[in-house]
Structures are given as structure tokens and as C-alpha cells.
Chains A and B, each alone.
Chain A
Amino acid sequence: MAIESHLDEVLRSRNMTSKELCKLVGITEANLSILRSGKAKGIRFHTINRICYYLQCDVGDILKFNGQLDEEEGEE
């Protein structure tokens, strides 16, 4: 995945569990696990807004671009 999730690192640094974050943000653990595992196809502004607010971080702290192009887009 070209966009990598560093949510686990941010959670560790903030000393927060994913369960607590889910409760604050208002999403299910299954949804959050999709984001953490890199399987998510997208993220709503509303959700990333709340994650950044409760983790007191920037979008770039959670999502990083690794310089690659996604395989599906590359084949086109």
C-alpha cells in the first residue's frame, strides 16, 4: 500500500489503546483494524479529524506516503 498507516506507533506514544480510541472517535474496532492493517480503501475526513483531535497529532503522523504507486493504479 502506497499510503502507510502509523497509527499503532502514535497510539503507543500517546499511551492509548485502540479500544479507547474507537470509543472516542465513534468507530468500531473492526473499522479501525482495517485502517491499521492497511486494507482501507479510504478514510473519511470526519474520521481522520476525530482521530487527530483525540491523539493530538497531525494527519502526516498517522498516514505516510512511501513514494510508491498503488499496484491497481500502476497497471492502468
Chain B
Amino acid sequence: MKKEKLFWLLTAALAAVAAFLPYAGNGFFAILSVPFTALGWVLRKLSLAGTVGNVVSIILYGLICGTPVWFWYRSKRRYEDLLLLLLPLILVVVLYYMVNPNLRHSMMQNHVGDAIYAASVWSTLMTWGVLKLLYSDEWGLDRNIYKGLRVFLLLCAASCVIDCFGSDIAQYLNLLKSQIQVMGVVNYDGMDIAFLALGFLVKAVEKGLAALVLYRGATLVAELERDPFGAACVETANGVSRMCRDSLTIICLSALFLNLAQILMTPLLRNISVSINIPVTGLAVCFAMLAVTKLLVKGKELKDDNDLFV
């Protein structure tokens, strides 16, 4: 229970941070670019602070970029560890452009560019991590996959929350502010605001439920690792299955409500553009999890049946 509370508290904190970050297409990606933009800011400040600051900045720059080489040296130096030698090259370029944002290509000079640069580093680290898990000879393959899957599901759950309750809220509020500013306080239209709020609420329901299902999925994977045919695993699977069924119902009904409301409200709206709302993320997550839980329960039934064969 403690770990669960810690996970949601941390996710909520990151969502709050994402709400204040400049929009980079996705709240989760904005969070991921923070370490690099922060490092870039620090190195830039140091290099502009005089000769001593410049020297410190260069030393720090070298140390940060060279750290993966030290990890490679300490590693078993398998094929996947070669990615640790690629990482310094990537870091050199990424940090250079974080320190000197004006030297970037015009298309990369905004916050989306920050996220793209950061993504190249995280992508390399993620690939190294996944390959390490899959090909490590210290653990059995099943255990690696369960571990990796659990981390992935938790990251996806966090991503849903950070994206929806972090950057999306900020985007909606900015949109609202711009509507009021354009129209002037006198032309403030309650219907536009109501429609925006409704749209956000439906999205929040979809992403919130998807996050809960993903989190419970991670719990299920932990039970699978312990005992795939145990009573606890089957109980968790049944719980996840019920949650998926309820979530699918709520997500579909709320999307239907929004789409019907759009038909009624469109003639009354002044400045808000309408769109078709199909909750693909929520549906995909819930259906996938539902299929897995059904398979698990079926597997347990087959095992019980098999146990009656002497």
C-alpha cells in the first residue's frame, strides 16, 4: 500500500510540474526533457560567468558526457553495452544544443526541440536497458520480461496521468485565457467554457481510467512473477478484468455523451473547434488487459484440469 501511495504521489507531483512547463506536445515528454534543459541552463550560466566559470563548465560537460564510458568500463562489455559508448556522442550533441539553443535548426528551437533532443538520450538508455534485461545471463528470461513489463506499465500509467492532468490542463487553461483575451471580457461566453470543460472531463475520465487499469496490470504482473497459477494471481486477474469491463463501459458512454453534446452545442459555440472523440488509448489499454486476464484465468482452469490427470 505504501509503494502504491508513493507511486501516485510522485506521479501527481510530476503532473503538477508538467502543468507549468512549456507545452512540448506531451506532458510526459516535457518532464523527460527537464534534466537536459536544466543541465543546459546550468552549463550556459557557468560558461557566461567568466574564465573560471567557463573552465568549470567545460570540465562538467566532459564529465557528464564521459560518464557512460565509465559505466561501460565497469560493465561486462557485452554487445548491448556498446550502446554505452554511443551515448557520450549523443550527449555531446544534445548538451551542446541545450547550452546553445540559438545554434539549433529553426524547427528545433522551441520546447518540442528540447523534447526531441532529450528523447534521443532516453531512447538510447531505454534500448540498452531492454537489451540488458533480455540477454542478461544472471536472471532467467521470464523474470526479466516480468520486471521490464512491470516498469513499462507503471511508466505508461504515469504518462497518462502526467499528460492529462499536467500538460493538458495547462493547455486547456491557456486556450481559455486566449479566448477571453481575444473576445474581451464583455464577450465572455459560458457555452465555450462549458464545452471546453466537458471535453477535458471526458479525456480525463479516459486517461484516468487507463492509468488505473495500467497500474493494476503492473500489480498483476508482480503476482504472475510470484506464482502464475496461484490463487492470488487469479484473484488479481479477476479484479483487473472487472475493472476493465467497468472502465470500457464508462469510457465509451462518456465519449458518446461528448460526441452527442457536440451536435447540440456546435450552433451555440463561438470560437471552439469541434472534433470527433474516439477514446483509442482507453479502449486499447482496457481491451488488451481484459484479453490477458481472461487468458490467465483460462490458464488456471486448464492447469486445475491438468492436475486431475494422474
Q: Which single residue of chain B is at the shortest CB-CB distance from A40?
A: B310
Q: Which single residue of chain A is at the shortest CB-CB distance from B309?
A: A42
Hey, which chain A residues are within 8 Å of B310, CB to CB?
A: 27, 31-32, 34-35, 40, 42-44, 47
Hey, which chain A residues are within 8 Å of B138, CB to CB?
A: none
Residue-by-residue, is B269-310 near A (CB-CB < 8 Å gives 1, otherwise 0)? 000000000000000000000000000000000000101111
Majority secondary structure, B binding face: mixed
Is residue A23 contacting chain B, with contact meaning CB distance below 8 A?
no
Query: A44 and B308: CB pair below 8 A?
Result: no
Is residue A39 contacting chain B, with contact meaning CB distance below 8 A?
yes
The residue in B307, B309, B310 that gathers the most chain A C-beta atoms within 10 A of its C-beta is B310
Residue-by-residue, is A16-39 near B (CB-CB < 8 Å gives 1, otherwise 0)? 000000000001000110110001
Q: Which single residue of chain A is at the shortest CB-CB distance from B308?
A: A41
Hey, which chain A residues are within 8 Å of B305, CB to CB?
A: 41
Question: Which A35-73 residues sit within 8 Å CB-CB of chain B?
Answer: 35, 39-44, 47
State A44–B307 Cα separation when bound (angstroms): 12
Q: Which single residue of chain B is at the shortest CB-CB distance from A33?
A: B310
State A32–B308 Cα separation when bound (angstroms): 10
Hey, which chain A residues are within 8 Å of B309, CB to CB?
A: 40-44
State A43–B308 Cα separation when bound (angstroms): 8
B303 to chain A, nearest CB (A): 13
Q: Which single residue of chain B is at the shortest CB-CB distance from A41?
A: B308
Q: Which single residue of chain A is at the shortest CB-CB distance from B305?
A: A41
State A40–B309 Cα separation when bound (angstroms): 6
Hey, which chain B residues are within 8 Å of A34, CB to CB?
A: 307-308, 310
B308 partner, pick from A27, A40, A47, beta carbons under 8 A: A40
B305 to chain A, nearest CB (A): 7
Question: Which B13-68 residues sit within 8 Å CB-CB of chain A?
Answer: none
A32 to chain B, nearest CB (A): 7
Hey, which chain B residues are within 8 Å of A35, CB to CB?
A: 310
Residues on B facing A (Cβ under 8 Å): 305, 307-310
Told that A32-B310, A34-B310, A39-B308 touch, could you supply 14 new A-B pairs with CB distance under 8 A? A27-B310, A31-B310, A34-B308, A35-B310, A40-B308, A40-B309, A40-B310, A41-B308, A42-B308, A42-B310, A43-B310, A44-B309, A44-B310, A47-B310
Residues on A facing B (Cβ under 8 Å): 27, 31-32, 34-35, 39-44, 47
Q: List 22 A-B contacts (CB under 8 A).
A: A27-B310, A31-B310, A32-B310, A34-B307, A34-B308, A34-B310, A35-B310, A39-B308, A40-B308, A40-B309, A40-B310, A41-B305, A41-B308, A41-B309, A42-B308, A42-B309, A42-B310, A43-B309, A43-B310, A44-B309, A44-B310, A47-B310
